[in-house]
Amino acid sequence: MIGFLYIDDDKIGEVDFKVTDESMGGIGGNLISNENYRKYQQIIQQHCTRCGISNIDNFNFRIVLEDNTELIPQGGIGVTDLVEFDEVYVESVGLDLSMLKGEAFNKTGK
C-alpha cells in the first residue's frame, strides 16, 4: 500500500506500507525521502538519538494514501532515522485496517 508521508503540508517522501500487526492496526515501511525531507532530517535524527523515535509529539506527521485517503491512526505516527543507518522507517498504529481492505490494502499481498 503506497502512502505519502507529510509534515504539515510538506510531502517528505513515499512509503510502501505493509501490515506489521493486524491486532494493533499497525503498518510500517521504509521511507523513500525527497528533497523536503532534508529540511527536517537533522531534527528528526536528534529526536531519534534522544528518544528512539520522532513522533506526532514532535511534528504533525500525516499519511495520505495514493487515492488521497488520509489515515487517522489512534496510536500516532513515528519516524526512525538513526544517524548510523541509511534507512528511514515509518510506522503507525491504531488504524482501522478494515477500511484498507480495498485495492490499496490488497497490494500488500494480504
Place of cell 485496517: 97
pLDDT of residue 109: 40
Which DSSP symbol is given to 81?
-
The three three-digit cell numbers of residue 21, written as one number: 500487526
CA distances 18 to 46, 57, 64, 74, 96, Å, are 26, 24, 14, 18, 14
With 0-12 CB in 10 A as exposed, 13-18 as middle and 19+ as buried, what is 48?
buried
CA distances 77 to 10, 36, 53, 103, 109, Å, are 16, 18, 10, 22, 22
pLDDT at 107 over 80: no
**Tens-digit pLDDT profile for residues 1-36:** 999 999 999 999 999 999 999 999 999 999 999 999
pLDDT of residue 105: 53
pLDDT of residue 99: 79
